[in-house]
């Protein structure tokens, strides 16, 4: 016997004056029922307390639950790389594509254990429209933060992002007694590449190297442009052996395939220095050991990996 489930799909488009046009497929007929004005005002005030998107969606779900029963909420904005789910998936869904004028704000789905009545569908649309202005503000704030923490040339995280992420990873490693490692990476003879092929080709090499490193590291690793032609990878839950394995994989992958810039093949190699957090050292100590290992790799002929031990550095 087929399951009798309900799916309501619609487009909610709000203008700057908070009027909206609703085009809904699969919904019940429209009703004149509306939320009390003071209830909508209270929700608006709550939503204005944060610019964090996940917190905003969580607050909104809790406020909606006071007025309309639901088992969960899912918000997705693929262009911003955001996906946040609260609660449980169920058979009955109300899905909305959210627009503010021409600006796409994402898709929101409400999950329910029971079907929506005519009045409930209308109430939900009114409530979602209250979210749209705070959501647009949160998305713009998110974009500004992402831009401030992203290297414009390579698209990877920048030094400012590292200054926030590394203390966080260090704190987690200390609190959970887990491993934390760093890989410092430098493009060999990068000045010669610029001198021979030009700065446009040099920029092309930087972008290509960043992409290939990003494609090779694990999803849990974080890549940063450390400065100039140097990159840094933060490896959580990774010991010295794992750091060496990944570092050597990176070195071979880049040495085996030249960068191609405007149909010109440019051979590129990298030098790497790795270090794993010791019990007694600080973030600065860990960074210095990784940096010292990198310079040992370069002094030893380049195109090689050096992994630091607690007391010294050894060439792998």
| Residues identified as active-site | 229
Q: Which residues contact 256 (CB under 8 A, 6 or more apart)?
A: none
The sheet with strand 313-315 has its strands ordered as: 222-227, 230-236, 180-187, 270-276, 305-308, 313-315
**3-class DSSP state for residue 187?**
strand
- Cα-based distances in Å from 172 to 11, 165, 168, 236, 281: 42, 11, 6, 9, 15
What are residue 261's DSSP bridge partners?
264
Going from the C-alpha of 192 to that of each of 31, 228, 267, 278, the distances in angstroms are 71, 14, 11, 37
């Amino acid at each position: 016997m087929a399951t009798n489930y309900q799916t309501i799909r619609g487009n909610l488009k709000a203008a700057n004056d908070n009027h909206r046009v609703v085009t809904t497929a699969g919904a019940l007929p429209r009703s004149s029922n509306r939320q009390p004005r003071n209830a909508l005002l209270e929700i608006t005030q709550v939503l204005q307390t944060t610019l964090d998107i996940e917190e905003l969606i969580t607050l909104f779900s809790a406020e909606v639950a006071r007025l309309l029963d639901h088992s969960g909420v899912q918000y997705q904005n693929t262009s911003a790389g955001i996906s946040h789910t609260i609660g449980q998936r169920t058979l009955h869904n109300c899905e909305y594509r959210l627009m503010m004028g021409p600006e796409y704000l994402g898709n929101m789905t409400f999950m329910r254990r029971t079907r929506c009545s005519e009045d409930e569908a209308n109430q939900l649309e009114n409530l979602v429209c209250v979210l749209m202005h705070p959501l647009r503000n949160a998305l713009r704030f998110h974009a500004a933060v992402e831009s401030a923490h992203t290297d414009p040339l390579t698209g990877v995280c920048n030094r400012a992002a590292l200054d926030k992420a590394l203390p966080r990873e260090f704190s987690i490693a200390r609190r959970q007694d887990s491993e934390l490692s760093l890989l410092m990476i430098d493009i060999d003879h990068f000045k010669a590449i610029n001198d021979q092929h030009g700065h446009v080709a040099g920029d092309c090499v930087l972008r290509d190297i960043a992409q290939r490193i990003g494609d090779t590291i694990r999803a849990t690793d974080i890549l940063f442009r450390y400065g100039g032609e140097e990159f840094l990878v933060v490896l959580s839950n990774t010991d010295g052996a794992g750091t060496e394995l990944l570092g050597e994989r990176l070195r071979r992958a880049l040495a085996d395939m030249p960068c191609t810039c405007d149909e010109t093949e440019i051979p590129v190699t990298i030098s790497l220095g790795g270090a794993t957090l010791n019990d007694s050292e600080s973030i600065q100590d860990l960074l210095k050991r990784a940096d010292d290992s990198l310079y040992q790799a370069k002094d030893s002929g380049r195109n090689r990996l050096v992994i630091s031990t607690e007391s010294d550095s050894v060439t792998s």
